[in-house]
Every structure is written in C-alpha cells, then in structure tokens.
Chain A
Amino acid sequence: MDEVKLFGFWPSPFSRRVIWALKLKGVNYEYIEEDIPYNKSDLLLQYNPVHKKIPVLVHGGKPIAESLVILEYIDEVWPHNPLLPKDAYERSVARFWAKFIDEKTRTLWEFFQKSGEEQEKAIKNNFEILRTIEEYGLGDKKFFGGDRIGVADLVFGMVIHMLVPLEEVVGVKFIKADTFPRLHAWMKNFSEQPTIKDNVPDHSKVVDFLKTIDFWIGP
C-alpha cells in the first residue's frame, strides 16, 4: 500500500518542516506522536536504527530518515506545489540555503542552553548568522523560494515556532522590524500562509515545554 506515515514530536522543528511539506502538497498521512526522548516506540527504532530519531517518513512501508532527505523525497514523489525550483542552478542555490539554514539554526539554540559570558557570545553569534541569512539568503525576495515557499523557508520556519518561544524564556529578541527588516517581513508572510498558520504548535505550550525540559531536543 502507498500509505504515508510520519513519526514526529510536536515541538521538534525537524518533524514540523515535514508536516508543512505534506500539508502544502495535500498528502494524506497518519501522524504518530513519539514520546521523546525516554520512551521511543519500537517501530521508530526499527525504522531508524541508525539515528533512532524523528522525523521518519514511511511510504508504502519503506522508511526514510533525515528531514532534508525526507523533504527532497516528498518533493519528488508529489511534485505539485514544488518545494524546489525546476532549474538546476536555482535548485543548487535552494539546497545550499536549506543546508546552511539547517546547520546554522542548530546553533541558534545555544543561547538558550548557556549562561553568562558564553550566552552573550551565543547571542552575538545569532545576530551574525541571521545577518548572513537575511543578506545573502533572503535578499529582497518574499520567500527564500522566491514568490512561493520552498525548502529553505520550511527549514527557516523554526524561527516562528521555536525561536520565538526560546526568546521569550531567555528574554531577548532577535528578529525585529529595525534589526532584521526583511526577516521580520518574512516571518509575517510565512506565518500568515494558511497551511503554515493552521499547523504551528501553540506558543504557550512550547514555552511551558521549554521551561520544563531536562533534555536536549535540539540536534
């Protein structure tokens, strides 16, 4: 059968980007909420023995792990509402940014985990990362994908449902109209897209979650 299952964890940006991709393409799927990290299901461990992590997409019984790999697969199997451009050069640029943002948004967490001088350093680092993303990645485009949402947008999307709550817990704000005008506009455009708007975890739920976790849910 060609049924689609997604193993995820509700606050995780990595499964969230897959949910968005499936929803944007109108793909029917069964969602399995995993109890991360202390009670992972046997099925998850069977489907992703290498990393034992979510997200895992299972299509017709065949598992795929690693969110960026999953996004490419989804785009190939369900090509309507494409997440990647047709032109090979444009695709390479989109992939570059998806990878860069994926890599750098992992370090965006550090200010949350650290304190004192190390936290200050992490905060400064975040400003630099966001500057690079704004200037070279987004530029004057509405979305990273141009006029439409693309893979890099789904990856950067963590800022609306994870960075904002992290900021609230720590008491610092990165993306403001005066600090990062283009990223600020992007956040508004991205979060107002109906599919995204209807599929974002509740902000206060995430804040509560962040205040209580005793484990690292980042990468």
Chain B
Amino acid sequence: MEEENKVTLHGTWRSPYAKRVELALKLKAIPFEYVEEDLNNKSPLLLKYNPVYKKVPVLVHNGKPIAESLCIIEYIDETWKNSPQLLPEDRYKRAKVRFWTSFIHQQLYETMLTAMKAAGEAQEKAIKELWEKLQVLEEGMKDIFLNGTPSIISNGSMGILEIVMCSLLGPYKLQEEVLGIKIIDPEKTPLIFSWLEAINELPLVKETAPPSEKTIALLKFVRENALKSSSA
C-alpha cells in the first residue's frame, strides 16, 4: 500500500524545530516527503495530525503522526537503527545526553528568543543570561565528552546534541549580525566555538541551511514584530 513505510515531514523553513527533524532524517538517509506549511494558513492535515499544539514539525510514518521535535527524533532513532545512532547506547550516557538536550532546548532557546525579541535593558539582561548559560554548557561539555571534545570533532558523528545545537546556534554569525553583539566568543567559550565550527562544516548542514539573506530577513522580521507589539 502507499501508506506503508511512507514518511512525511510537515515543517517550515522558518522553524528550527522542523530543521532538527529534517537533519535527523537526512543523517539516517531516510527518504521522506516534505510538506512546507504556511503557518498563517495551516493545512487541514496538520491540524488533524497535531490538534494539541497545531504546530510543526509533525512526522507522519505509516499514516501515524508524531509531534514535538525531540519525541520525533527519539522515534526516528528507535525505528531506523542504521548509523548514525542519534542517542548513545549506554544508559547513563543517554541520560546525560537527554539532560543536556533538554538544557539546550529549554534554557538556551528561551533566553536566545528573549534576547532576539527585546530591546534596551530587557535585552541586555537576556544577553547576559545567555552568556551565563553558554558558560554552563561550556563546562558541561567537559562532562558530556571525553576531554570536552565532541564526537563530531573526533570522529565526525552527529547526534541529537549536535542536531539541537545546529538548529539553535548554527546560524550564530547571522544572529550576531542582527543583534549587533557577540554571542559565541572563541575566547570565552572555546569548546562551544569549535563545536559549532565543526557542525557548520558538515556538507549536510551547509546544504540544508537556507540562504543567509533569507535567515537574516526572518530574524529581523521576528525581532521587529516583537518590538512593535511590545511597545503597542
């Protein structure tokens, strides 16, 4: 039947969460159909597949939908057991990776978004908080990886942590341009800096990144929109 084994990803190029799932599917070389959703005009299918959040990404496999990017990635890793393994085999390491994935996903994302959408004192506060959290992650890398060296540097492998880092901070140079401040300083957070360099060098990451101008325009739009509504 048509539905059997068919994989469809509902996403939008604007969403870093959809980007994560796209990376996971492509890393595992899983063929899939991509449906670009217009968030101002969501398809009836999307609303049917994700009635709780009504958001992208949604992965549909064998006609069954899964929402929430991290749930989707774990599903992908459990269903397609080919390399690369996106989460470690060892239970304790897996718990550590889940912990740090959650940290990046919740803490870093939220603070970055606040910094992007705020101005003046509120923005300064958010940026300071972002730097502090990046320091925490920098320290954490020594706990996650042997010698603090991510596996992507030692053996080129990309897993869930790299996926989440890539979707958030892959375009950090563009974010710095829009915000007018330095986010990733090689002197303050050298491990994170080299981690991101290695991630951004991957052909897959380069191929799947939208053109810089498009990303900059989107970041500027998000920022201006937020500033407008906050001062209204």
Q: How large is the interface on A (under 10, 10 to 19, 20 to 34, 35 or more residues)?
A: 20 to 34
Contact at B92–A96, with CB atoms within 8 Å?
no
Please tell me which one of the listed residues A50, A62, A88 contacts residue B75 in the complex, with CB atoms under 8 A apart.
Answer: A88
Interface size on B, residues (CB 8 A): 26
A110 at interface (Cβ–Cβ under 8 A)? no
Contact at A65–B99, with CB atoms within 8 Å?
yes
Contacts of B99 in A (CB 8 A): 50, 64-66, 69
B44 at interface (Cβ–Cβ under 8 A)? no
Contact at A91–B95, with CB atoms within 8 Å?
no
Contact bitstring B65-85, A, C-beta under 8 A = 1, else 0:
011101110110011000000
In Å, the complex CA distance between A69 and B78 comes to 17
Please tell me which one of the listed residues B78, B91, B102 contacts residue A88 in the complex, with CB atoms under 8 A apart.
Answer: B78
Contact at A132–B95, with CB atoms within 8 Å?
no
A95 at interface (Cβ–Cβ under 8 A)? yes
B83 to chain A, nearest CB (A): 18
Contacts of B94 in A (CB 8 A): 72-73, 76
- Near B by CB (< 8 A), chain A positions 124-142 give 132, 136
In Å, the complex CA distance between A59 and B62 comes to 38
Contact at B140–A92, with CB atoms within 8 Å?
no
- Near B by CB (< 8 A), chain A positions 68-127 give 68-70, 72-73, 76-77, 88-89, 91-93, 95-96, 99-100
* With A50-B140, A76-B91, A77-B91 as contacts: A89 and B75 at CB distance below 8 Å: yes
Contact at A72–B51, with CB atoms within 8 Å?
no
Contact at B75–A99, with CB atoms within 8 Å?
no
Contacts of A88 in B (CB 8 A): 75, 78-79
A17 to chain B, nearest CB (A): 16
In Å, the complex CA distance between A16 and B51 comes to 30
Contact at B72–A92, with CB atoms within 8 Å?
yes
Whose C-beta in chain B lies nearest to the C-beta of A62?
B92
In Å, the complex CA distance between A64 and B97 comes to 11
* With A69-B98, A69-B102, A89-B64 as contacts: A95 and B71 at CB distance below 8 Å: yes
What is the interface of chain A, defined by CB distance below 8 A to chain B?
A: 50, 59, 62, 64-66, 68-70, 72-73, 76-77, 88-89, 91-93, 95-96, 99-100, 132, 136
